[in-house]
């Protein structure tokens, strides 16, 4: 007895050969070839009747009905580097084998480009089905935007323009703003970050740029700056931020004072420098020159 298999809903063509008379099927049909659409496993038989009315021996075959397997991808479209879950229904009691080596009704894939996956179902006497395909579409990850700050350094309270190039989609800044160009007022040196979102919703890696705030150069009151040998002088400095500190250094770059007021005795021509140190960093030095009068 021969065996054939079809998917549920399909038709099987049954053919009888070697009969010079009339073929009669168990379905009641009389023809050498008939089509049937069984919904479950079904046995069919046929016999041949000659022109003289003689009936031959019956022959039979079995048609197995396989339910079609239905693979699905969720989501069907992803960004490169993301995952999609592939599931299959319809392989009751069987084994599902995927072309990427996966086994089972559920596998997770992470393709970097659009990829087509196939799966087969092996069920006992039904054998192995034809492969069924499912596609995962992959959208590319945008390139990392290039960020610039103009000017790169400003004074406290001044503005800087941040720009992002190389993005054909939408730029989103880490502090919530969007746009390829934004303006920010700075009170301290700040690192700004942004990423690009493509029209397909895929996000690039994050880029960053630093916009600096220069510490204010101190203002020194050094009057008079020409004194007699051994005379004392009190230097007063201002202009640093409220949280800042001062550093006085001599010509040898030695730290000689750390307050806003510095009293010294003149023992010869001297050059001093003072800087402001605050959250923005260290300012440019203010140079103070003291001379001994002749």
pLDDT digits (tens, 9 = 90+) for 219-235: 877 667 777 888 888 88
Count of C-beta atoms within a 10 Å radius of residue 227:
15
Residue with tokens 């480009």: 113
The CATH number assigned to the domain with range 219-292 reads 2.60.40.10
Residue with tokens 């075959």: 61
For residue 19, how far is the Cα from the chain centroid? 68
Any idea which architecture 146-214 has in CATH? Sandwich (2.60)
Domain ranges of the chain: 2-66, 70-139, 146-214, 219-292
Do the domains spanning 2-66 and 70-139 agree at the CATH topology level?
yes
Considering the chain, what is the average pLDDT of its residues? Answer: 90
For position 213, what pLDDT does the model report?
Answer: 84
The pTM of this model reads 0.63
If pLDDT is split at 50, 70 and 90, which confidence band does 105 have? very high
Q: Which CATH class is domain 70-139?
A: mainly beta
What does the alpha-carbon distance between residue 227 and residue 233 come to, in Å, rounded to a whole number?
A: 8
CATH topology of domain 2-66: Immunoglobulin-like (2.60.40)
pLDDT digits (tens, 9 = 90+) for 114-137: 999 999 999 887 788 889 999 999
Q: Is 81 left (phi over 0), alpha (psi -120 to 50) or beta?
A: left
Count of C-beta atoms within a 10 Å radius of residue 97:
18
């Amino acid at each position: 007895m021969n065996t054939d298999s079809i998917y549920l809903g399909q038709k099987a063509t049954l053919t009888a050969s070697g009969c010079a008379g009339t073929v009669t099927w168990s379905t009641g049909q009389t023809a050498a070839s008939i089509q049937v659409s069984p919904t479950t496993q079904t046995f069919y038989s046929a016999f041949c009747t000659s022109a003289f009315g003689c009936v031959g021996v019956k022959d039979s075959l079995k048609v197995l009905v396989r339910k079609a397997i239905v693979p699905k991808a969720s989501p069907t479209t992803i960004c490169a580097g993301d995952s999609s879950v592939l599931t299959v229904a319809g392989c009751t009691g069987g084994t599902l084998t995927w072309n990427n080596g996966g086994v089972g009704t559920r596998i997770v894939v992470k393709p970097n480009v659009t990829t087509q996956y196939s799966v087969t179902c092996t069920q006992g006497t039904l054998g192995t089905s034809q492969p069924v395909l499912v596609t995962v579409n992959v959208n590319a990850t945008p390139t990392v935007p290039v960020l610039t700050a103009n000017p790169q350094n400003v004074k406290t309270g001044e503005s800087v323009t941040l720009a992002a190039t190389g993005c054909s989609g939408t730029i989103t800044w880490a502090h919530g703003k969007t746009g390829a160009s934004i303006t920010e007022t700075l009170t301290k040196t700040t690192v700004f970050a942004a990423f690009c979102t493509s029209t397909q919703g895929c996000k690039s890696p994050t880029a960053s740029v630093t916009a600096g705030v220069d510490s204010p150069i101190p203002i020194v009151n050094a009057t008079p700056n020409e004194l007699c040998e051994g005379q004392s002088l009190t230097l007063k400095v201002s202009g640093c931020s409220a949280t800042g500190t001062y550093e006085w250094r001599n010509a040898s770059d030695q730290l000689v004072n750390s307050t806003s007021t510095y009293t010294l005795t003149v023992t010869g021509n001297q050059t001093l420098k003072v800087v402001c140190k605050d959250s923005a960093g260290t300012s440019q030095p203010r140079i103070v020159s003291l001379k001994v009068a002749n």
